[in-house]
Structure 1
Amino acid sequence: MTGFLGEYESTLDPKGRFLLPGGFKKQLPEGESTFVVCRGTEKCLWLYPSSSWKPIYDKLSQLNDFDPKVREFRRFFLGSASEVELDSAGRLLIPPTLKEYAGLQKDITLASAVNKLEVWDTTRYKQLIESYSESFSFTAKNVMVDYNVTI
């Protein structure tokens, strides 16, 4: 598989570690144990397997340093990026600044986002998904038409 499917809940321990759910472990490329975690949009974190991160980093490194939008994006996105590795118990450590950015307390939800996982505070994630429930049909139609996707 070249991406992720599903959403799973996990729990942060007092040190900011969580157990990577087995459902996602099964979807990782064989031998993948290193990730990059960084700020995402809507106050979540983005968790990239290293194999997904490298092509993104390579593209970002080729952007024009003289463009203020590029510098702003890099500061926000790359400035927060940290490499994390699965420990012997299958846990990942969220750095304190990222934990604070995403408002992570104890209960977290990991949601698939194609080549990465989103890490959310569970309450915030449920509220976000609930806010989509009435408009999802309209959004789905627009995305499928605007991007010419057929299923």
Structure 2
Amino acid sequence: MSSFHGEYEATVDAKGRFLLPGGLKKQLPEGETRFILSRGFEKCLTLYPLKSWEQIIAKISQLNDFDPKVRQFRRQFLGGATEVELDSANRLLLPPTLKEFAGLAKDIVLAAAVDRFEIWDAGKYKQLFEDFSPEAFSDLAQQVMAENKI
């Protein structure tokens, strides 16, 4: 499994395309050109390299179909998931419905999230950090890391 890092700025053109930043492209496995783009848990999009997506789908396919929560989760998580591919100019196309969901306009940020990237409106992404104090981050880190025994 790949592990990504960094934050990358990009600009969405009038047709809804953006150039995959070079620093992000360098982190992808050789020849990786296909991705799954889906709604994020927050008002962002999530860009999964195909291999990362396949691992998630393998887990989801093992969930119990008879559990209504599983069915609702699948609808929410898989709804809108779209395969996108780099074009010859290393651009990705944002489907209009997903672009609208995340409120993406011209300036976006692609932020690493372990095995995927989140795509945020640049203003909303900046606001996330302005609204979160260092103390709140420290408290969150303590809670999350203690719960997961890392």
Structure 1 unmatched ranges of 5 or more: none
Q: CA RMSD in A?
A: 1.1
1:80, 1:64 → 2: CA distance?
22
- Provide the residue aligned with 1:137 in structure 2: 138
- Provide the residue aligned with 2:147 in structure 1: 146
Question: Aligned runs of 1:77-96 on 2, under 5 Å?
Answer: 77-96=77-96
Q: Secondary structure at the match of 1:114?
A: coil
Would you say how many aligned residue pairs link Structure 1 and Structure 2? 149
Structure 2 unmatched ranges of 5 or more: none
Query: How high is the sequence identity, in percent, across the aligned residues?
Result: 65
Deviations 1:11-57 (A, max 9, x none): 10111111111111010011110000001111111100001110111
2:146, 2:73 → 1: CA distance?
28
Deviations 1:65-110 (A, max 9, x none): 2211111111111111000000000000110000000000110000
1:34, 1:28 → 2: CA distance?
11
Q: Secondary structure at the match of 2:131?
A: helix
Shift of 1:133: 2.9
* Superposed structure 1 runs of 4+ greater than 3 Å apart: none
Question: Aligned runs of 1:1-150 on 2, under 5 Å?
Answer: 2-134=2-134, 135-149=136-150
Q: Secondary structure at the match of 1:138?
A: helix
TM-score by length of 2: 0.95
